[in-house]
Amino acid sequence: EIVHGSSSCRGKVRVGLYVGGESEKAKQMTETGVITCKDEMRKSPPDILMTNYKMLDYLLIRQDDRGLWSENAPDTLRYLVVDEIHTFDGAQGTDLACLIRRVKARLKTPEGHLCPVGTSATLGGEDSGASILDFAALVFGEKFQESSIIQETRKSVREHLEDTDSLEIRYFEPPGPEHHEELSPASYASIEAYTTAQAKLWFGTDLDLSTLDGKVALAKELRAHNFLRTFLQHFEQRTQVDGQEQVRRRSVIEESEILSALSSRRPQWDTEHHRLLINSFISLCATARNAPYPSAYFLQLRSELWMRELSRMVASVHPHPEVRFSMDLPSDHPQRHLAAMHCRECGVMGWGALQKANEDKLVPELDRFYSAFFSKNPDPRLRFLFPVENDTHQSESLVQPYLCGSCLALFESKDGTCPDCGTKAHDSEAPAEVCTLRVESPHKTIQRQNIRVADKSCPFCESSTGLTIVGSRAASLTSVGLSQLFGSPYNDDKKAMAFSDSVQDASHRAGFFSARTYQIVLRAALFKVIDKLGEDAALNDLSDAFPEHWLKEYGREKFVGTFFPPQLEWLAEFEQFKADQHLTTGSRLPSRVADRLKWEVIREFGMQCRIGRTLEKSGAAGTHLAEEAFEKAVTTLTEALHDFGSSFKSITHDDTVRLISGLCERLRTNGGIHHPFLESYVAKKGDTYVFNNLNGEALPKLPPTGTPGNRPTYFATFQAKDAFERLYSRGTAPTWAEHWVGKWLRSIIGEPAKDLDPAPIIERIVGALVDSGLWLRHEISKSSGEYAWSLDARRLLVSTEAADHGCQTCGHQVTTSRSVEQRWKGVPCLRHKCPGHYLSSAVTNDSFFGDLYRKGDVVRMRAAEHTGMLDRPTRERIEKEFMRKEPLSTDIRMLSCTPTMEMGVDVGALSTVLLCSVPPEQANYLQRVGRGGRRDGNSLALTVATSDSHDLSYYEMPLKMLAGEVRMPAIFLRAPAVLERQLTAFCIDRWVESSTSARIPDKMEAIYTRLSQKNPAAASSGTFPAALFTFIETNLSTLLDGFVGMFQNGELDEDSVKHLRGFLQGNDDTEGSLTYKINRSITASHRDREQFFIRRKELQKAIDGNKAKQPRDEKLEKDLSQMLAERKGINNLIKEMNGKEVLNFLTDEGLIPNYAFPEEGVTLRSIILRKPESDEDGGKLKKQEFEHVRPAEAAITELAPGNSFYVEGRKLTVDQVSID
């Protein structure tokens, strides 16, 4: 674009892009493109060549690319530009320095003739001039003067304020507390409404901020307000030195500093009001513009928020426990702490620990507890303890269970004195820092495959998966942040970039973010449909209306792109849709999505209603039972209960209301809401095959539901597979229903007779609920009397007006529609063993997620990894989607990156950058957060500090990272391994230059074929690598002197030269020599290939044997299919090995420089088998083969046997390792 826009350059200056991959067709420059045809550039080299470091190395050593250099005179090369030069640190910087010297040596460029240029926005600080010059000299091998450094210039505060026609201050006072509501962003539905209202509050005038003129006028008004000066003065620190004022600019200030300054001026205003003022004024600054638009923003603003992941959380062992970070506790802290636990479903909190063997004491070590808790077979010594509050759990016995806060002993006692250490019980009159406390410590184990393991189900709500460790890691916190950012109407740039420091983290998090944010999008979309339907929409009607509304609103393509489940995006039909953005007339995708959305409505108000940030928990919606059916059930049941005796005559209408409300709530939150999708599930007594069968019709409808506790659970006369909860015991241990109905009875008639059989009472309850239509009865087996019951979705109504009901004893929460909140007053607590009752407290509308669902945008956030693991076409496709100005519903909107994204990759403008950990250095931090704000000067940088000591040190003092000194990169030109690789490449370069017949084969197959012949040495004579070895042996002194001569400023010492001479002189028997290393790598690869041939031969023999067996059965056909698939996979692997480029092989083996990995790489080969999606696919497995290379340092852990490796949205399991 620059060349085309310049009359002096257009048609005269030619620019070429020479990178990896297939050659492209562009032979001439255009308005928007450069030359990309490689043959054209070889025949007619461009004036400016853009390439990467690895390709530049290849251009020196490939015979086909000689044309690029053949016509160059020594003075032809004038400029060499290295972008993002600060990223070349350590081995990579050393490789770059050697490569530049090799280019100059190849072209015989005279000393001092080349003008090298290095660009960086984060190289050194104000006083780093000398260090920068030294660094540049090492990289380029040239001398630089002080004037060579071009630094940025920024306006001072006064210069910025003077950039107007008048300095007159016309506004002095900010909006006062009487405008508190008007200052709150929550009072507005859009950015425009908010900023327009704020401008009116600050300046008393109406500005049209949708226009450029309005934004320019706003900038003038801001300069005329004294608050701007007050605000900007914080960014300059003025001091007196020798009687002269010196100004030091500050790029970052903490919000607390501004709040403190505002509070000191107006102490009568509270902190929250000052915070609203800051947000309001900064929002106006972000909106204002200086002409010409759009590049001249008023201020460049970046908000930086730091969070700390909740890792290794513990709670103090005390009657009033406090949750703390274990890493923050001093070693001499007087209180003991154990792992903090909570139930995701009922909300109960307590402690978790491992009990010592043969002792009644707990082990406080977290690592041992975590290992036992997350084990496939949880240690039976696991203990979960819960505080007893207000003596509400007092049993008949005077001896109570206690936990010692000093020695962690579990014991029973009357007065709570620890028998081991003598610590006394807690006394509210004289509270002690360390004491014993009463606890509940239910200890249950179960038998699993002949092994006794701990039962990790919640003892209060009996959820088998609810009890978990308190915490939230970086990925979870970041996904929550992304959900808020993409749903917020205040974010008009819904793109983001997340940085991780490892390829595996970036790959895994891309999938994690996509999956975790999906549910938030669904809830925002669902709320809009609930709101449209109005009050008291039946759940089954809502289930149908949800997909119907959005299909009509969006159309088929956008509907599928927005709501397609992340777990199913691997389906070939969806991948094809993403590629061409068109749905055929007979496409099954819209109906699949519609069915899934219908089911999601049932889940949202059923088994998932209390897990996570649901519509119910956020106060955005509540449910209640249909009035007519409910009243019918109450009337019928009240009369029926009176038949059980005189004591039951006292049961009133309101009592029965509480009984039915509690039982129906239990059934609802267990997921016992019937839906046609579940017919087979119920008939087969909870068989999850209906959820997880890949080929079944349920696949597009239902998410995987294999784990216990994540399945719909109906009431039944039996119990099976965690999918049915027995209503009455019939002589076994009391069920939840019997226990809870007993609590309800005791609250009315006192303790019932001990011989009272609860089964007939429950049968009457069930009969009334079925007759009224609230419940449905499912006949499983009439002969054995097996029945199940569920809520009828037609009788469950949804409202946008919700109310909370909290147990006055344990705090357990229930949410309903506000219209029925009186029904819940006095309902016995649903939590097991708690004797409390619910009290109503109306939900307020200031819940953050509730507000997000009410006002939020419905925008699907899809993430993709952007790492060096991707091939060029995949990477460019992702970048194109990300940069699209008008995104499609299937486009990538978030990049999960590694530090390679620091290296100048263009992904367009964005406003949000997330750092999933604290970067190693200040330069890394500045480079990453600097990605944001290029559109309009406004950006958000969110940093999550992990539990790593490096992260925590900066979390305590973030300004050290935000505004600290930038360390200069280091170059080690005497590093032996780097010099060996560069010397090898230098020798190949000289060999290729010496003769047109000197050629490295394109593919490895040519080398393998020669090694497979009877006389490999004779067959390989005169070809690579033998010809290269001969050339080196003949020209050894010249080559060594030429390489050492590139370092003319004493960069290499005598030891370095001696090491290189030994490396070059050694032969095939000299371990560590050039010849030895190349031959060893090629021989080892050839041996691997031969092993594949052997395995293929064995498979063929087994296939022939299988085919010969008669008669045929299902097992024989399955074995045959697997063997055929493996044979095809091996054939493809052999094909890949044969087709691998020799230069890529040498690079991956660490024999020549690799500007991505500083050491030898390890190759991961994988085969993905895709199961058929329908009978139309022929029932055959489809195969995909992949090959990825990892640096050895990372591979030793990432690719260990049994490990999972994440790449390109797939989880690979390492099952074989080939060791040379």
pLDDT tens digits for 364-373?
Answer: 999 999 999 9
User: Which neighbouring-strand residues pair with 467?
Assistant: 343
The rounded distance, in Å, linking the Cα atoms of 751 and 763 is 21
For residue 39, give the H/E element and its range: helix 38-43
For residue 698, name the pLDDT band (cuts at 50, 70, 90).
very low
Sheet holding 786-791, edge to edge: 724-726, 714-716, 786-791, 775-781
pLDDT digits (tens, 9 = 90+) for 866-877: 988 888 888 889
Q: What's the confidence (pLDDT) of residue 695? A: 44
Give how far Cα 1109 sits from Cα of 391, 1100, 1104, 1105, 1119, Å. 74, 15, 9, 7, 12
Summary mean pLDDT of the chain: 87
pLDDT value at residue 696: 44
Q: How far is CA 1103 from CA 753, 1098, 1122, 1181, in A?
A: 73, 9, 10, 17
Q: Is the pLDDT of residue 708 over 50?
A: no
Q: Locate 1023 and state its tokens.
A: 């070809």
- 658 neighbors 826 (Cβ within 8 angstroms): yes
Average pLDDT over residues 711-732: 81
Which of the four pLDDT bands, split at 50, 70 and 90, describes residue 433? confident
Q: Which of 525, 559, 520, 558 is nearest to 542 (CA)?
A: 525
* pLDDT tier, 22 (very low <50, low <70, confident <90, very high otherwise): low
pLDDT at position 1077, please?
A: 94
Instruction: Inform me whether the pLDDT recorded for 156 exceeds 60.
Output: yes
pLDDT tens-digit profile of 92-125?
889 999 999 999 999 999 988 889 999 887 777 6
Instruction: Tell me the mean pLDDT in the region 187-207.
Output: 94
214-236 confidence digits (pLDDT tens): 999 999 999 999 999 888 888 87
pLDDT tens profile 1014-1068: 777 776 778 899 999 999 999 999 999 999 999 988 889 999 999 999 999 988 8
Q: Which residue has the higher pLDDT, 991 or 1203?
A: 991
pLDDT (average), residues 161-166: 61
Convert the pLDDT of each residue in 515-548 to its tens digit.
999 999 999 999 999 999 987 899 999 999 999 9
Under the banding of pLDDT at 50, 70 and 90, the label for residue 1158 is low
Residue 83, CA distances (Å) to 50, 77, 92, 900, 902 in order: 11, 18, 14, 13, 11
Return all residues near 475 (Cβ < 8 A) that are at least 6 apart: 508, 509, 512, 513, 916
**Has residue 701 got a pLDDT over 60?**
no
The more confidently predicted of residues 74 and 427 is: 74
Q: How confident is the model at residue 444 (pLDDT cuts 50, 70, 90)?
A: confident
- Tell the residue number behind the tokens 């509070």, with chain if given: 263
Return phi, psi of residue 82, to 5°: -110, 115
Is the predicted pLDDT of residue 127 greater than 60, yes or no?
A: yes
Residue 834: the pLDDT is 84
DSSP secondary structure letter of residue 160: H
**Strands 537-538 and 838-842: what pairing?**
unpaired
What the chain holds in terms of domains, given with CATH numbers, is 15-148 (3.40.50.300), 189-289 (no CATH), 314-469 (no CATH), 474-595+855-962 (3.40.50.300), 620-801 (no CATH), 976-1153 (no CATH), 1160-1220 (no CATH)
Q: Which residue has the higher pLDDT, 2 or 337?
A: 337
Q: What is the pLDDT of residue 706?
A: 44
* Digit-coded pLDDT (tens) for 543-599: 999 999 999 999 999 999 999 999 888 888 899 999 999 998 889 999 999 999 999
Span 732-749, average pLDDT: 88
Q: With cut-offs at 50, 70 and 90, classify the pLDDT of residue 1174.
A: low
Mean pLDDT of 786-809: 93
| pLDDT at residue 842 greater than cutoff 60 | no
Distances (CA, A) of 673 to 242, 522, 612, 631: 80, 19, 19, 20
Assign 903 a pLDDT band (cuts: 50, 70, 90): low
What type of residue sits at position 421?
A: C
CB 952 within 8 A of CB 327: yes
Alpha-carbon dihedral angle through residues 778, 783, 786, 790, given to the nearest 10 degrees: 10
Residue 780, C-beta contacts closer than 8 angstroms, at least 6 positions apart: 682, 683, 685, 716, 718, 786, 787, 788
Of the CA atoms within 13 Å of residue 418, those in its CB half-sphere come to 21
Sign of the alpha-carbon dihedral angle for 1154, 1155, 1161, 1163: negative
How many DSSP H helices and E strands does the chain contain?
A: 40, 38
Contacts of 40 (CB under 8 A, 6+ apart): 16, 27
Closest CA to 425 of 412, 416, 438: 416
Average pLDDT over residues 403-425: 93
Residue 987 pLDDT exceeds 90: yes
- Tell me, what's the pLDDT at 694? 44
Name the residue with higher pLDDT: 249 or 446: 446
Calpha distance 1066→1033 (Å, rounded): 10
The CA distance from 453 to 467, in Å, is 16
